Amino acid sequence: MAHEPEDPSVQKELPRRTFLRNATLFAGTVAGLGGGLELLSRRPGAAAEGTLPGAVTPAARPLGPYDVKDPITPYAQATSYNNFYEFGIDKADPARMAGSLHTRPWTVRLDGEVRKPQTVDIDTLQSWFPLEDRIYRMRCVEGWSMVMPWLGFPLAALIRRMEPTSKAKYVQFTALYDPKQFPGQRGNVLDWPYVEGLRLDEALHPLAFMAVGLQGRVLPGQNGAPLRLAVPWKYGFKSIKSVVRITLTEKQPHTTWSLAAPDEYGFYANVNPAVDHPRWSQATERRIGDLGRRKTLPFNGYADQVAHLYTGLDLRRNF
């Protein structure tokens, strides 16, 4: 199984996608999540509970150093056009199926090369950090992109709290494995559970973020509730959803897409318009909501902030 190119000119037999088909389904998913109002009310400048649907427009606050100025992708589109293969391979499957995912109670295992391995409840984990807003670009390897207003905390804050040993060089993330909740896991379209990884210095970069909310609301199931990674300078598949385990490792961890197709998806997966996917160009992308295509930027436009992490690394070989 592989990603599909987004540009219909690449594979003409692909059906045209309808983006708004399931736009009305997200409301039930959001309302059903426990802990959500508490989470939102702890957020500085959060909207009152009553305004939950259509709440805080992140653009209404001053932009911070980690925000992009691009117009944000409408919530209805960001929550109805998704890749989340645990729910199915169609872009509409996650929104349609997300009601089967129960995100409370939920625990996250923090282990590996750390001083004190532990299993922590998601609400406790969230309470460790002040929640921040981040407006990030998200560029899928298939050639489409969105602008996502996340709510969450820097991954670095969590890793510091885990107290890495001197052997820790990488971070491995594991998503939930539960075929009862994830219909896609009843088949073997990918090896389950979905796993991802970062080098420790990448994970400690201030842009690497753990999201628990989207556009001022509790993260919907289809976007990776209750906890998902957001690494905006890498292709979207690195940003693993519905995380249950974070493990510090000495060796480079396995990652789902590079196991599935090692010649197509590398460990680094930095957005790079100069390195084409074997089956399509990565030079351009379509911003969801736009008609035309735009140029893809090196490191998804975050080169000034992250390029230094890769000095001396051949980005063609380490794609």
Ligand X SMILES: Nc1nc2c(c(=O)[nH]1)N[C@H]1C(S)=C(S)[C@@H](COP(=O)(O)O)O[C@H]1N2
* Binds Mo ion (CB under 5 A): choice among 140, 147, 208, 269: 140
Please say which residue, 92 or 113, places its beta carbon nearer to ligand X: 92
* Binds ligand X (CB under 6 A): choice among 39, 98, 140, 210: 140
Class of residue 317 by CB neighbours under 10 A (exposed 0-12, middle 13-18, buried 19+): exposed
26 binds ligand X, rule: CB under 6 A: no
83 binds Mo ion, rule: CB under 5 A: yes
In 3D space, the residue among 170, 214, 174, 205 whose CA is nearest the CA of residue 191 turns out to be 174
Is 223 known as a binding-site position?
A: yes
Site for ligand X in 203-232 (CB under 6 A): 223-224
Are 152 and 213 in contact by the 8 Å Cβ rule? The answer is: yes
Q: Using only the alpha carbons of the chain, give its radius of gyration.
A: 18
How far apart, in whole angstroms, are the C-alpha atoms of residue 172 and residue 147? Answer: 25
List Cα–Cα distances, 43 to 94, 145, 209, 211, in angstroms.
27, 27, 16, 13
83 binds ligand X, rule: CB under 6 A: yes
85 binds ligand X, rule: CB under 6 A: yes
Span near ligand X by CB under 6 A; candidates 16-24, 34-42, 82-90, 292-300? 82-90
Q: Which does 144 bind (CB under 5 to 8 A by kind): ligand X, Mo ion, none?
A: none
Is 85 known as a binding-site position?
A: yes
Q: Which does 242 bind (CB under 5 to 8 A by kind): Mo ion, ligand X, none?
A: ligand X
Contacts of 55 (CB under 8 A, 6+ apart): 40, 47, 215, 216, 217
Q: How far is the CB of 237 from ligand X (least distance, A)?
A: 4
Helix or strand run (H / E) with residue 135: strand 132-139
Is 140 known as a binding-site position?
A: yes
- Residues that contact ligand X, how many (by CB under 6 A): 18
138 binds ligand X, rule: CB under 6 A: yes
Helix, strand, or coil here: 317?
Answer: coil
Residue nearest to ligand X (CB): 236
Amino acid (1-letter code) at residue 5: P
Site for ligand X in 146-205 (CB under 6 A): 146, 175, 194
Span near ligand X by CB under 6 A; candidates 57-65, 118-126, 138-146, 197-205? 138-146
Helix or strand run (H / E) with residue 202: helix 200-203
CA angle 19, 238, 29 (to 5 degrees): 45
Site for Mo ion in 235-264 (CB under 5 A): 236-237
22 binds ligand X, rule: CB under 6 A: no
Query: Which residues, in sequence order, are bridge partners of residue 230?
Result: 209
In 3D space, the residue among 297, 298, 16, 5 whose CA is nearest the CA of residue 144 turns out to be 5
* Binds ligand X (CB under 6 A): choice among 29, 80, 181, 239: 239
Amino acid (1-letter code) at residue 108: V
Residues interacting with Mo ion, by CB under 5 A? 83, 140, 236-237
Residues that bind ligand X (CB under 6 A): 82-86, 138, 140, 146, 175, 194, 223-224, 236-237, 239-242
Binding site listing for Mo-molybdopterin: 82, 85-86, 140, 223, 228, 239-241
